[in-house]
Amino acid sequence: MGRPPCCDKSNVKRGLWTPEEDAKILAYVSNHGTGNWTLVPKKAGLNRCGKSCRLRWTNYLRPDLKHDGFTPQEEMLIINLHAAIGSRWSLIARRLPGRTDNDVKNYWNTKLRKKLMKMGIDPVTHKPVSQVLSDLGSISTLPNTNNQMNFVNNDSINNTVPAATEPSGSHYSSITVNASANKNTREDQVHSWEHQVR
């Protein structure tokens, strides 16, 4: 048995939020705070999924959110953090007061990715596209046809930051990333990066 749905999707409203619904969430949260989101729609008088309410609050209604455009400083920070830790949007967003992971993710996907590509930088590896292409070329000319499987099965990969997120040789900073890549050390990497850029 899998996990049951959090709400009856067929009887729940979806799509864009109305100002009335926003007002109900705001009123409820200001009176009760953000507690059990599954109870919020019932108590706030909303015909919405609790998860949907939480998303609306965290991505749009929170009073500490900025709704204006990203500054060049924020832009630079996103690019550098993405180079250091990859698409860990929530971690990146935590370094940007007033921004949500959704904001950062959307901004990256719609603006920054294209901007980097225009500059001739691969947005995944943060290396020049020419270098990425030559790397690919040298991989594909290797005689062993099991290269991919060898790469995936290589135990050492578990202790190594994936090349895609490796910032060494990055064009934004001279950060070095240590070998272990679990959640905590990624956070540590962000801290150490912040220390270095100051």
Residue 110 engages DNA in binding (rule: CB under 7 A): yes
- Residue 74 binds DNA (CB under 7 A): no
Q: Which of 52, 165, 170, 189 binds DNA (CB under 7 A)?
A: 52
Nearer to DNA, 21 or 127 (CB): 21
Phi-psi bin for 137: left (phi > 0), alpha (psi -120 to 50), beta?
alpha
Single residue of 8, 10, 11, 15 touching DNA by CB under 7 A: 15
Q: State in angstroms the smallest separation of the CB of 66 from DNA.
A: 11
CA 124, distance to chain mean position in Å, is 13
| CA gap 108, 97 in Å, rounded | 17
- Site residues for DNA, 84-103, by CB under 7 A, read 87-91, 101-103
Determine, following the binding rule CB under 7 A, whether residue 195 of this chain makes contact with DNA.
no
Burial track 22-49 (b if 16+ CB lie within 10 A, e otherwise): eebbeebbeeeeeeebeebbeebebebb
Considering the complex, what minimum distance in angstroms separates the CB of residue 178 from DNA? 19
Q: Are 46 and 23 in contact (CB under 8 A)?
A: no
Which residue, 38 or 173, is less far from DNA as judged by CB?
A: 38
**CA distance linking residue 104 with residue 124, whole number of Å:** 16
Residues in the chain: 198
- In this structure, the dihedral spanned by the alpha carbons of residues 47, 58, 66 and 189, taken in order and rounded to 10 degrees, is -160
Stretch near DNA under the rule CB under 7 A, chosen from 8-16, 131-139, 149-157, 167-175: 8-16
In the complex, the residues that contact DNA under the rule CB under 7 A are 1, 3-4, 6, 9, 14-17, 35-38, 49-52, 54-56, 58-60, 69, 87-91, 101-103, 105-107, 109-111, 114
